């Protein structure tokens, strides 16, 4: 993760601000943000500020829960780019509602130093608490701020305490990006001005995600050559819905007796459902049919994806799921739920199907149909190739250039 040695400070004009970002402590966190912004870094000099929650007693909690708030280095060099991890006071429980202000205070002196190095724009990811903190910093330091909605805004917008804070942040931001049109519509509903909203979806790296020979891929995971294989990739948390897929397997096995299910992913700060999933597999008599592969680095995902026939994610909430394009780039159709921006990615019948969330019968029927269908893999691959990162990065660069050439400064949070 972190490279050895140091690099000399260099001029930056863009600061990426996100508490979710890969680090030596959490290498799988926020990979989709790094994928996007490190491509921007090929055209604009930037630094990353990834604030980390801290309070004096958390090292004691870590003795009982070793994975609790793992400590990231103060500074890492990733691909030649500085990634800072300033700490901010974050007390567990209801006091987490103070995270926006605490995050801003904890990052202030670092941001002031980066502004002195030439920073002209703060690019924040997630509206709360990151966007709220970034807009405060922008107001204090006289810098414009962009905020990207990525999906957490959906549950936050239903919280009567957080909703007005989301609204203030989005109204105060210089520009509001969203990874899907459904999130752009949410931003408008929260009061963001239409003319300052813009959809910039995620992309896929087809150099990393590409089909490999299926027989070799299946041999790697000791799968029968003639098996039918489902796969899910994501954190082992309730929201991602692996348990909903497992519930479908007994009925699907009656129609597809050679069925196997690969699950790629591990626990995250959101939780770890692995013990419950293991118990569910045992209860349903699915030992030997459900294979937990753990978390894998991006460059390894092409192997389980290529070993599979259908990708499925019975998710409760998504912004724009990169993993759909990654699966498609390996030739897989996608079955998923009609939440967030899912239907914007799986937008044609030749790419897969989208079912109502919570409808177990519809999910089971869609998986059965997908396993039986003769998919046009070439069309799926072509769609993925049309959604590479180049277009997204060009769109971001154009927006950043326009903002940096103006003197717009965030306002609207004074006294909040």
Tell me, yes or no, whether 297 and 181 share the same domain.
Answer: no
In a domain, 186, yes or no: yes
pLDDT at 224 over 80: yes
Tell me, yes or no, whether 367 and 270 share the same domain.
Answer: yes
Instruction: Report the pLDDT averaged over residues 192-200.
Output: 96
**Which DSSP string do the residues of 274-319 spell out, in sequence order?**
HHHHHHHHHHTT-TTTEEEEE---GGGTHHHHHT-SEEEE--S--S
In a domain, 363, yes or no: yes
Q: What is the pLDDT of residues 76-98, one digit of tens each?
A: 999 999 999 999 998 776 667 88
Q: What is the pLDDT of residues 118-128, one digit of tens each?
A: 999 999 999 99
Q: Which of 26, 300, 56, 30 is nearest to 152 (CA)?
A: 30
Please state, for a pLDDT cut of 70, what percent of the chain lies above it: 91
Task: With beta carbons less than 8 A apart as the criterion, state whether 136 and 105 touch.
Answer: no
Domain harbouring 274, CATH code: 3.40.50.2000
Tell me, yes or no, whether 70 and 196 share the same domain.
Answer: yes
Domain that holds residue 131: 14-203+391-404
Tell me, yes or no, whether 84 and 232 share the same domain.
Answer: no
pLDDT recorded at residue 286: 98
Tell me, yes or no, whether 167 and 254 share the same domain.
Answer: no
Q: Give the predicted TM-score (pTM) of the model.
A: 0.82
Tell me, yes or no, whether 164 and 276 share the same domain.
Answer: no
Tell me, yes or no, whether 232 and 141 share the same domain.
Answer: no
CA dist., res. 358 & res. 25, Å (int): 35
Beta bridge partners of 46: 14
CA dist., res. 138 & res. 353, Å (int): 42
Tell me, yes or no, whether 38 and 141 share the same domain.
Answer: yes
Burial class (CB in 10 A: 0-12, 13-18, 19+), 1: middle
Tell me, yes or no, whether 296 and 338 share the same domain.
Answer: yes
CA dist., res. 378 & res. 121, Å (int): 41
pLDDT recorded at residue 60: 64
CA dist., res. 296 & res. 294, Å (int): 6
Tell me, yes or no, whether 397 and 380 share the same domain.
Answer: no
Tally the domains of the chain. Answer: 2
């Amino acid at each position: 993760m972190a490279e050895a040695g140091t690099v000399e400070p260099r001029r930056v004009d863009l600061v990426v601000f996100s508490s979710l970002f890969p680090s030596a402590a959490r290498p799988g966190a926020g990979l989709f943000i790094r994928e996007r912004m490190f491509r921007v870094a090929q055209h604009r000099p930037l630094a990353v500020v990834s604030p980390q929650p801290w309070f004096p007693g958390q090292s004691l909690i870590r003795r009982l829960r070793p994975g609790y708030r793992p400590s990231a280095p103060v500074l890492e060099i990733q691909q030649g780019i500085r990634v800072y991890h300033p700490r901010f006071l974050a007390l567990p429980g209801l006091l987490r509602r103070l995270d926006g202000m605490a995050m801003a205070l904890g990052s202030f002196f670092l941001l002031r130093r980066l502004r002195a190095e030439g920073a002209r724009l703060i690019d924040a990811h997630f509206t709360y608490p990151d966007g709220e903190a970034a807009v405060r910093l922008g107001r204090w330091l006289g810098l414009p701020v962009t905020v990207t909605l990525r999906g957490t805004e959906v549950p936050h917008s239903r919280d009567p305490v957080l909703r007005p804070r989301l609204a203030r942040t989005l109204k105060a931001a210089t520009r509001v990006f969203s990874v899907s049109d459904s999130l752009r519509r949410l931003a408008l509903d929260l009061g963001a001005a239409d003319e300052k909203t813009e959809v910039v979806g995620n992309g896929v790296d087809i150099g990393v995600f590409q089909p490999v020979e299926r027989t070799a891929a299946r041999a790697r995971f000791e799968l029968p050559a003639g098996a039918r294989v489902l796969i899910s990739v994501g954190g082992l948390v309730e929201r991602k819905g692996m348990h909903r897929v497992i519930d479908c397997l007994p009925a699907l096995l009656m129609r597809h007796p050679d069925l196997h299910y690969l699950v790629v992913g591990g626990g995250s700060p959101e939780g770890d459902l692995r013990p419950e999933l293991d118990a569910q597999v045992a209860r349903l008599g699915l030992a030997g049919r459900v294979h937990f592969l753990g978390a894998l680095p991006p460059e390894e995902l092409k192997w389980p994806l290529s070993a599979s026939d259908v990708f499925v994610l019975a998710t409760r909430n998504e912004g724009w799921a990169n993993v759909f394009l990654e699966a498609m780039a390996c030739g897989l159709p996608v079955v998923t739920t009609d939440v967030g921006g899912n239907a914007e990615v799986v937008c044609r019948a030749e790419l897969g199907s989208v079912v109502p969330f919570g409808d177990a019968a519809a999910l089971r029927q869609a998986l059965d149909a997908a396993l039986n269908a003769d998919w046009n893999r070439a069309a799926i691959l072509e769609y993925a190739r049309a959604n590479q990162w180049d277009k997204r990065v060009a769109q971001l660069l154009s927006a950043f250039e326009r903002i940096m050439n103006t003197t717009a400064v965030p306002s609207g949070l004074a006294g909040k």
